[in-house]
């Protein structure tokens, strides 16, 4: 009887137990429920250390384990050829630490952005430009608190909200925010680097 199994490995999977099973790192499908149950419970490897770490493995390892289970299985790999196991030891939630980190990031981002905006305005002399525009249009000197400064301040805040497509838990559109896109690109580049480093054969040659 022909047994077909569709395998889709994730590029990176976070696990909290030292024993890694196929269900932890991949999605599988087969029209044989018994075969699916056996494959989901198949142990792929055991994490060698008790420390948090990332381990690179290959689809070849997974195929070998499945064929040991049943050599007659026909496997169609629809996912990654190399994957990463991110082992994180289970630990109780640390709400205070999470809130402190969040507050620190918010403060750094707020004051950093404020400093960047102020230095930009100072470099291009926005205040002088507003003074000249106000004088040309109204014929009177600006006192530094006119419709131009008010509109600029409001527009700057609205522009940031629109650009980042995110305010608290509310999103303007369903598109990912620029920050989400950059974080995903960073994570993808990290995964690719880990996989490439693990696959290097020349131990004496490195870019670091």
> Angle, to 10 degrees, between the axis of helix 95-124 and the axis of helix 126-138?
60
Kindly report the pTM of this predicted structure: 0.68
> What pLDDT does 128 receive?
85
> What pLDDT does 153 receive?
85
Residue 66: which residues within 8 A CB-CB, separation 6 or more?
Answer: 5, 7, 22, 39, 42, 73, 75
Upper half-sphere CA count for residue 53 (Cβ side, 13 Å): 9
> What pLDDT does 3 receive?
83
Cα 158 from Cα 160, distance rounded (Å)? 5
> What pLDDT does 207 receive?
45
Residue 36: which residues within 8 A CB-CB, separation 6 or more?
Answer: 5, 28, 29, 30
Q: Is 84 exposed, middle or buried (0-12, 13-18, 19+ CB in 10 A)?
A: buried
> Angle, to 10 degrees, between the axis of helix 147-164 and the axis of helix 178-198?
40
> What pLDDT does 201 receive?
58
> What pLDDT does 110 receive?
86
The encoded tokens of residue 29 equal 């499908």
* Per-residue pLDDT tens digits of the chain, which is 208 residues long: 568 899 999 999 999 998 999 999 999 999 888 888 999 999 999 988 888 889 999 999 999 999 998 888 899 999 889 999 999 888 888 888 889 998 998 899 889 988 988 898 888 888 888 888 888 888 888 777 888 888 888 888 888 878 777 766 777 777 887 888 888 999 999 988 888 888 775 555 444 4
């Amino acid at each position: 009887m022909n047994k077909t199994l569709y395998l889709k490995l994730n590029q990176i999977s976070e696990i909290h137990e030292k024993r890694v099973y196929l269900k932890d790192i991949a999605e599988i499908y087969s029209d044989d429920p018994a075969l699916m149950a056996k494959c989901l419970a198949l142990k792929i490897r055991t994490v060698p250390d008790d420390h948090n770490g990332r381990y690179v493995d290959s689809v070849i390892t997974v195929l070998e384990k499945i064929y040991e289970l049943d050599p007659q299985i026909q496997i169609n790999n629809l996912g990654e050829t190399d994957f990463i196991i991110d082992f994180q030891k289970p630990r109780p939630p640390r709400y205070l630490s999470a809130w402190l980190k969040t507050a620190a990031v918010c403060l750094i981002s707020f004051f950093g952005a404020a400093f960047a905006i102020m230095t930009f305005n100072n470099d291009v002399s926005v205040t002088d430009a507003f003074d000249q525009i106000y004088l040309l249009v109204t014929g009177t000197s600006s006192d530094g608190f006119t419709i131009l400064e008010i509109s600029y301040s409001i527009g700057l805040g609205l522009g940031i909200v629109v650009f980042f497509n995110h305010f608290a838990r509310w999103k303007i559109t369903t598109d990912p925010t620029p920050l989400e896109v950059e974080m995903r690109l960073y994570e993808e580049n990290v995964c690719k680097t880990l996989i490439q480093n693990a696959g290097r054969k020349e131990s004496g040659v490195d870019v670091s």
